Structure 1
Amino acid sequence: MQAPVPGRVAQIAGEAAAADGADPLDEAARIALADGAASVIAEDDAFALLHAGDLSLVVRPTARGRGLGSALLTRAESSYGTGLTAWSHGNHPAAARLAARHEWERVRDLWVMRRPTSLPLPALEVPDGVTIRSYRDSDAADVVAVNAAAFADHPEQGAMDLDNLSRRMAEPWFDPAGLLVAEDESGMLGFHWTKQHDARLGEVYVVGVAPAAQGRGLGKVLTLAGLHHLAGLGVDEVLLYVESDNAPAVAVYSRLGFGHADTDTHVQYRRP
């Protein structure tokens, strides 16, 4: 019996992740699939998933090299039109070849940077008048407002609203103790949302500082506060995602001990 579409998608994606060393579906795609908000073209050995203009195309490893990806991409282009984007998680060579064949443009490189927790962390020095504490339910509107201002030009993160915040907080990994907020007498200045994937892996999930509070070193302070929190949970490694051309952020993370390997890159393509 053929598996239903969500089950088949999860099965193919799981096999691809095991073979490639990178999950072909990011968090947003998985949430959209779970919530029934994604359009799916599914075959026995491949699928194309679209949500919010972003396309995920995955072929079962044992079925590769037979033209399934190209055929499915042609169907997706016909069904979904122009202006699509697609991520290659892990910068897969086959994705690059497929993009070139269909004349999709490489438009973004997103780096994964990693840091072992065995490296000593600098002491956390919080500026005078600033408090860093864990999230409270009454903080939701302020987190959304700070996020919207901090990521006004970010194509994904800047769109987070109260509903999306609640949906993320409904995920099994959410821990309010790991969402750290910085505030002073004027209100919330910024936040660092950490994420624990499993016993060994943590993530700098989102660091946002309100524009009015920038220039005070709060980004580094919040990042460091989150790293201390994750180290206290006993994880072995912490990762984060950063745009490859965001030189100031890359410099801050590098000084904190994060490194990047060329293979640890996610590439976004766009159909003109």
Structure 2
Amino acid sequence: MTPEETRQVLHVAARAEAADGTGPLDEATLLEIRLRPDDVRGWVRPEGFGLLIEDQIHLCVDPDQRDSGVGGELLEALLTDVWPRRSLEAWSHADHPAARRLAARHDFDVVREMWVMRRPAAEPLPPLELPDGVRIRGFEPADTDALLALNAASFADHPEQGAMDEAGFAERCAESWFDPAGLLIAIDTTSGADGTMLGFHWTKIHDRDHGEVYVVGVSPASQGRGLGRLLTLAGLHHLHDRGVREVILYVESDNAPAIRIYRDKLGFTHQQRDTHVMYRR
């Protein structure tokens, strides 16, 4: 995309987020637009845009232009150019009825749903009690290699998170929200203070009111010890100490064990409007 098209995309996306309460572009897409615009193909108009990044479509219509056929026109232009040379995926970053209708008209099927769960910080947290031999501390640069290896192992079946490499990690660490104290590392201290990394909880503060359980990863060799709940709780205490009003997290809708912990043990809730839907053709 050209710089002017990039500005237009970000402008329409900001207007859509203000209208919907949910951004139409996720973090990875925004990084691509900002850092690698030459890798983004764009069908950009003042009324909206369609983007293609690898095999993923990102489509958005300005709030004032909805129900005028702009979304269908943009999608048809994109499909005419690239289909049937590849399979395609598209996220709806909320379960919009208009997105479902557009997907059905163009033979996209629902293949994945991601929940946003929320927890008010006013609700008290259980105390954080560390078992013997486990220490939790903030991230240090020397942790990078071990963290990336643990991340790859614990998210081997996750199509986005498991692919994070050193460059992708560095990009996120360069973001204005990054705080090494908010990237919590669990260490096995039975072999010394610099022992094996057991897991991590990467928290994220969006603004003064909103924090996020960004990523929680546990080494496959350390699973079954309650470390996921322990690390999540440690991150919640960290975010509460920073004064946020609400904490959110993203979880696959079919990840029943994680949802039980978040809902039954930590007080998170989910509403249908907080469902993100992936379509595939």
TM-score norm. by structure 1 comes to 0.96
Aligned residue in 1 for 2:76: 74
The CA deviation at 1:44 is: 2.0
Amino acid at match of 2:4: P
- Structure-2 residue corresponding to 1:131: 135
State the partner residue of 1:17.
17
In the superposition, the TM-score normalised over structure 2's length comes to 0.93
Could you tell me which amino acid in structure 1 is paired with residue 89 of structure 2? T
Structure 1 residue 183 displacement after superposition: 1.1
Write out aligned runs for 1:59-138 (5 A). 59-81=61-83, 82-138=86-142
Aligned Cα root-mean-square deviation (Å): 1.3
Structure 1 position 21, deviation (Å): 1.8
Distance 1:209 1:21 in 2: 31
Unaligned runs of 5+ in 2: none
Extract unaligned runs of 5+ from structure 1. none
Task: Report deviation, 1:52.
Answer: 3.3
Percent identity, aligned pairs only, is 55
In structure 1, the partner of 2:217 is 208
2:273 matched residue in structure 1: 263
Which residue matches 2:196?
187
Shift of 1:56: 0.6
Distance, in Å, in 1 between the alignment partners of 2:75 and 2:163 is 27
Runs (4+) of structure 1 moved beyond 6 Å?
Answer: none
Query: Matches of 1:52 and 1:222 in 2, distance apart?
Result: 34
Q: What secondary structure is seen at the aligned counterpart in 2 of 1:108?
A: strand
Q: Distance in 2 between matches of 1:41 and 1:142?
A: 41
Q: Does the 8 A contact of 2:151 with 2:162 survive in 1?
A: yes
User: Could you tell me how far apart the structure 2 residues matched to 1:79 and 1:173 are?
Assistant: 37
Q: Partners of 1:133 and 1:79 in 2: how far apart? A: 50
User: 78-87 vs 221-230, which deviates more?
Assistant: 78-87
TM-fit CA distance, 1:237: 0.5
Between the aligned partners of 1:134 and 1:180, the Cα distance in structure 2 is 5
